[in-house]
């Protein structure tokens, strides 16, 4: 495959990146937004014209180099314009989620102390007004139904007469973003990332993939998160992708058919949902179940060039009647997917690859702006998170929990130009994360195999010791449980206890089907959580997935809950990660009962 031409990667700051793209791909479609039933596109030249006006608006609002501009919004054209207008003035972007709690906004605004705040709609402005910090000079609203609203970004850009060129003094070592971590283990931390950090990550990723201005994608990963923001707004924009913006998380499948992406970036949850949907539909159909299993089995042989003639003949029909139906969910135009943000199950990756959909899994963290390693279309190993990016040095450092049995296992430590400048207003935390050699201690456990592929086994801090002194990595167990089609969320506990237990939240579609088939439409939540048949179904699947695990690792008991795990009730972060501490507090009595 042909990779990106290094000669076009001449930018050293994010401001230069967007100017380079506008100059090279001006006539090509940039961003598409669905309005009145169809997608409307603007070109990169149109984007550049609006960008100059928005820089003028921000400057007239008092923004100067080094000031912070906070953004609270889902993905939108105005979000993209706002960040690049900020970069062009040498300002620092502080992105936030619309779904965050008001107290999270309050903490971030207090810690980052922005000069300007850009919000998605009037409802957010109303919530923010009472907590705005003294230095916020102005609150601008992206979308409003009031044509006379003086703080409407749409109206301001339309009526602005001036256009300002980007500040040439913006330097690679200047801070570009302060991105706050999702706070899975406590208060969010502001990660200071420089232009150099983002540009190094962008270039290293681009030269690893065959992508160009002929590609297009559907954007649904939040740009307030480092992964979605880097891949879509820097990497893809850097080579002139056409980026269609999804209407919402509920319309992704519909929007995929409209945009027909060639490359798609997603988190494992998207692949898990489609996998679960396919398996649930085959649950009561033995023929469908066998055909799916055969597709995976023989598709694997074909993929590894191990298929006999009879296998190839059989796969011809399986591909036509099974695999092609799976590909249609993603659209036939799709060349490959990139998965990040969390661990993707090898079983699920194998399933999709056997159906002709290559999922390139990677690993990263906000503190590394964020990609560390990634499988490529040509060189990938399912179950691993790929090889480190060019210019990224990964070392495995033994910890106090390392054993002679797993001598190659340890904490992942990184040296590269992508390592953050530090944590905002938190020098002690910065010293704890970055050692005196400039190496970033990730807190993730893993190892490098003989071919240089990186494998993740869990988090150092989430690893715990049972009463018998044995160490357990709960994330490895949770991954297995979450692969079960009937399970939406699973959390494993056992620190200091005689054995592991699991808290399981079944999948809604499975529960609805179970209730209907067992005539339990009017049963209470408590009755369903303790239903003997339901528990037995879950137990049978648990026994299957834990074959091969050590006896002390396997959860000995489990509890079912039908309480939703959501951002609103504080059990999920805006990036949809489990808040382990909050879950443990919420279900303290339930967990205690499992040890009676």
- Residue ranges per structural domain of the chain: 6-262, 269-332+335-459, 464-593
Q: Is the per-residue pLDDT at 423 higher than 90?
A: yes
- Supply the pLDDT for residue 221: 94
According to CATH, the topology of domain 6-262 is: Rossmann fold (3.40.50)
pLDDT per position as a tens digit, 428-463: 999 999 999 999 999 999 999 999 999 998 888 788
How many CB atoms sit inside 10 A of residue 486's CB? Answer: 20
Retrieve residue 193's tokens: 């990332």
Q: Do domains 6-262 and 464-593 have the same CATH topology?
A: no
- Which tops the pLDDT comparison, 100 or 26? 26
Q: 266 pairs with which residues across the strands?
A: 339
- pLDDT the model gives residue 401: 62
Report d(CA 392, CA 442) in Å as an integer.
13
| CB-neighbour burial class of residue 323 (10 A; exposed 0-12, middle 13-18, buried 19+) | buried
501 three-class SS? strand
Q: If you write DSSP's letter for every residue of 85-117 in order, what string do you get?
A: HHHHTT-EEEEE-TTS-HHHHHHHHHHH--SEE
3-state secondary structure of 498: coil
- Distance CA(81)–CA(75), nearest Å, equals 11
Give the pairing type, strands 38-43 and 29-35. Answer: antiparallel
pLDDT per residue over 248-284, tens digit each?
A: 989 999 999 999 999 999 998 889 888 888 888 887 7
Q: Return the axis-axis angle of helices 286-303 and 309-318, rounded to nearest 10°.
A: 130
Q: From start to end of 501-584, where are the E strands?
A: 501-506, 557-560
Tokens of 450: 């003989």
Phi-psi region of 18 (alpha: psi -120 to 50; beta: other; left: phi over 0): alpha
Contacts of residue 92, Cβ cutoff 8 Å, sequence gap at least 6: 66, 67, 68, 69, 86, 175, 176, 177, 178
Give the model's confidence band at 186: pLDDT under 50 very low, under 70 low, under 90 confident, else very high.
low
Output the pLDDT for position 4: 75
Q: How far apart are CA 139 and CA 129, in angstroms?
A: 9
pLDDT on residue 1: 53
The pLDDT mean for the chain works out to 92
Query: What pLDDT score was predicted for residue 242?
Result: 98
Calculate mean pLDDT across residues 299-326.
86
Sign for the pseudo-dihedral over CA of 395, 399, 403, 404: positive
Residues 365-407 pLDDT 10s: 999 999 999 999 888 899 999 999 999 999 999 877 655 556 6
Here the tokens at position 47 are: 């984007």
Residue 4 makes CB contacts below 8 A (sequence gap 6+) with 206, 207, 209, 210, 211, 212, 239
pLDDT over 70 for what percent of the chain? 98
Determine the 3-state secondary structure of 412 from DSSP: strand
Question: Looking at residue 417, what is its pLDDT?
Answer: 98
Query: What DSSP element (H or E) covers 534?
Result: helix 532-545
Does the bond joining 370 to the residue before it have cis omega, within 30 degrees of 0? yes
Cβ within 8 Å of residue 494, ≥6 positions away: 464, 466, 472, 474, 500, 501, 555
The band of 464, judged by pLDDT with boundaries at 50, 70 and 90, is confident
Hey, what CATH topology would domain 269-332+335-459 get?
Answer: Rossmann fold (3.40.50)
Residue 239: closest CA among 272, 271, 266, 208: 208
φ/ψ of residue 319, rounded to 5:
-65, -40
Q: Is the pLDDT of residue 236 over 60?
A: yes
Question: Among the listed ranges 221-230, 232-241, 307-316, which one has the minimum average pLDDT value?
Answer: 307-316
- Contact call for residues 110 and 133 (beta carbons, < 8 A): yes
For 489, the 3-state DSSP assignment is: strand
So what's the pLDDT on residue 457? Answer: 87
Distance CA 178, CA 93 (A): 6
The confidence score (pLDDT) of residue 405 equals 55
Q: Give the per-residue pLDDT at 377.
A: 85
- Cβ 254 vs Cβ 327: under 8 Å: no
| Least confident segment among 219-228, 274-283, 498-507 | 274-283
Q: What Rg, from alpha-carbon coordinates, does the chain have?
A: 25
Alpha carbon distance 35, 87 (integer Å): 28
pLDDT (average), residues 328-350: 90
2 has a pLDDT exceeding 70: no
CB atoms under 10 Å from CB of 137, counted, come to: 14
Q: CATH classification of 464-593 is 3.40.50.720, yes or no?
A: no
Give the phi and the psi of residue 510 in degrees, each rounded to 5.
-65, -45
């Amino acid at each position: 495959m042909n990779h990106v031409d290094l000669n076009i990667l001449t930018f050293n700051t994010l401001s230069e990146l967007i100017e380079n793209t506008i100059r090279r791909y001006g006539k090509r479609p940039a961003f598409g937004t669905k309005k009145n039933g169809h997608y409307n596109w603007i070109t990169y030249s149109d984007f550049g014209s609006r960008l100059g006006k928005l820089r003028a608006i921000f400057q007239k609002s008092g923004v100067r180099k080094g000031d912070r501009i906070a953004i609270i919004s889902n993905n939108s054209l105005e979000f993209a314009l706002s960040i690049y207008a900020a970069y062009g003035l040498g300002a620092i972007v502080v992105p936030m989620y619309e779904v965050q709690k008001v107290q999270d906004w309050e903490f971030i605004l207090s810690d980052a102390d922005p000069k300007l705040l850009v919000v998605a709609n009037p409802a957010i402005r109303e919530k923010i007004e009472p907590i705005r910090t003294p230095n916020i000079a102005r609150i601008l609203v992206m979308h409003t139904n009031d044509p006379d609203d003086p703080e409407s970004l749409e109206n301001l850009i339309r009526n602005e007469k001036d256009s300002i060129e980007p500040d040439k003094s913006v330097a690679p070592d200047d801070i570009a973003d302060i991105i706050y971590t999702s706070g899975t283990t406590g208060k969010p931390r502001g990660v200071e990332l420089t232009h150099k950090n983002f540009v190094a990550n962008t270039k290293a990723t681009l030269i690893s993939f065959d992508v160009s201005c002929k590609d297009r994608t559907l954007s649904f990963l939040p740009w307030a998160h480092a992964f979605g923001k880097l891949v879509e707004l820097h990497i893809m924009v850097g080579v002139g992708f056409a980026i269609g913006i999804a209407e919402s998380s509920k319309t992704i499948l519909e929007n995929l058919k409209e945009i027909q992406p060639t490359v798609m970036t997603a988190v494992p949850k998207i692949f898990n949902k489609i996998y679960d949907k396919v398996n649930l539909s085959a649950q009561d159909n033995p023929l469908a179940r066998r055909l799916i299993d055969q597709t995976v089995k023989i598709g694997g042989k074909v993929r590894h060039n191990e298929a006999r003639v009879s296998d190839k003949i059989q796969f011809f029909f399986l591909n036509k009647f099974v695999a092609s139906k799976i590909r249609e969910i993603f659209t036939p135009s799709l060349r490959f997917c990139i998965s990040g943000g969390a661990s993707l199950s090898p079983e699920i990756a194998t399933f999709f690859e056997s159906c002709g959909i290559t999922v390139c899994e990677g690993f990263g963290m906000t503190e590394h702006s964020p990609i560390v390693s990634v499988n490529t279309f040509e060189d990938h190993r399912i179950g691993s998170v790929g090889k480190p990016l060019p210019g990224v040095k990964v070392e495995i450092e033994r910890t106090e929990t390392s054993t002679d049995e797993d001598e190659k296992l340890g904490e992942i430590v990184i040296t590269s130009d992508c390592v953050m400048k530090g944590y905002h207003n938190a020098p002690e935390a910065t010293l704890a994360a970055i050692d005196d050699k400039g190496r970033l201690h990730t807190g993730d456990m893993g190892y490098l195999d003989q071919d240089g592929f990186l494998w993740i086994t869990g988090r150092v801090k989430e690893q715990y010791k049972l009463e018998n002194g044995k160490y357990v990595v709960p994330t490895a167990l949770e991954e297995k449980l979450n692969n079960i089609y009937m399970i939406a969320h699973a959390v494993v506990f056992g620190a200091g206890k005689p054995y592991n237990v699991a808290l399981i939240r079944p999948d809604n579609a499975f529960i609805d089907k179970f209730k209907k088939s067992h005539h339990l439409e009017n049963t209470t939540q408590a009755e369903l959580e303790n239903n003997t048949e339901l528990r037995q179904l879950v137990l049978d699947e648990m026994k299957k997935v834990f074959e091969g695990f050590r006896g002390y690792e396997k959860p000995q008991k489990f509890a079912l809950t039908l309480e939703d795990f959501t951002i609103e009730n504080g059990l999920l972060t805006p990036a949809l990660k489990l808040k382990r501490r909050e879950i443990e507090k919420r279900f303290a009595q339930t967990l205690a009962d499992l040890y009676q």
